[in-house]
Chain A
Amino acid sequence: EAGVAQSPRYKIIEKRQSVAFWCNPISGHATLYWYQQILGQGPKLLIQFQNNGVVDDSQLPKDRFSAERLKGVDSTLKIQPAKLEDSAVYLCASSSIRDRVVAGNTIYFGEGSWLTVV
């Protein structure tokens, strides 16, 4: 079974520039998450999708961050304009509704997209 795919793995941009990250979840997983992990901290949820609808985006800085999940499969996370404090790893994760009901929640993470804003 293929895992959660993310790209690009690494990105360096100047402040005020824009960047976009792409995520392809595990096939059949209805729930997709974007997390931000700053060095030395635990992941913080930015946005959660169920199919192509937003379940929770309360911690997404909407003045500069946007995310979409067209057709309920792939997702993109965009930052525009970037600030120095956006330097972090952006983790995409997915889970299935069945896994949640049967086993609580088995969530699968991608390897992350590392962003450095200079």
Chain B
Amino acid sequence: KQEVTQIPAALSVPEGENLVLNCSFTDSAIYNLQWFRQDPGKGLTSLLLIQSSQREQTSGRLNASLDKSSGRSTLYIAASQPGDSATYLCAAEHNNNDMRFGAGTRLTVKP
């Protein structure tokens, strides 16, 4: 059974800082790994999706990497801004559409 863990559970940084969010998963036979953002009272928005054959994906100030062999993914946020404050969740999906989420990292970027 896939288990997804995210560390840290919460993170507070000053504006402008570069930061890394971590995601680990127990079963490396994944179809893809996805990072989501969730704002308070809202649903989830997909940020980046890394397919199992890929090593990383980039979108603007966000870069996500995937290391299947070690069961890890990281989300790198460059030059953080207060608008980046949200909860970030990773999800590991298997080929049978089974998608398992971590509990998320709650990020606060202080002005």
- Asked if chains A and B come from one complex, the reply is yes
What residues make up the interface of A, taking CB atoms closer than 8 Å to B? 4, 31, 40-45, 48, 55-56, 91, 93, 103-112, 114
Question: In the bound complex, what is the Cα–Cα distance between A11 and B97 (angstroms)?
Answer: 30
Decide if A4 touches B99 in the complex (CB within 8 Å). Answer: no
Closest 9 CB pairs of A and B: A42-B101, A109-B43, A104-B32, A109-B44, A104-B51, A111-B43, A104-B49, A42-B103, A43-B101
Decide if B45 touches A109 in the complex (CB within 8 Å). Answer: yes
Chain B nearest CB: distance from A43 CB in Å? Answer: 5
**Within the complex, which residue of B32, B43, B100, B101 is in contact with A105, where a contact is CB–CB below 8 Å?**
B32
Which residues of B have CB within 8 Å of A111? Answer: 41-43
Decide if B49 touches A103 in the complex (CB within 8 Å). Answer: yes
Residue of B nearest to A107 (CB): B46
Question: In the bound complex, what is the Cα–Cα distance between A109 and B42 (angstroms)?
Answer: 9
Decide if A56 touches B98 in the complex (CB within 8 Å). Answer: yes
A-B contact pairs, 23 of them (CB 8 A): A4-B43, A42-B89, A42-B91, A42-B102, A42-B103, A42-B104, A44-B101, A45-B99, A55-B97, A56-B96, A56-B98, A91-B43, A104-B32, A104-B49, A104-B51, A105-B97, A106-B46, A106-B49, A107-B34, A107-B99, A109-B43, A112-B42, A112-B43
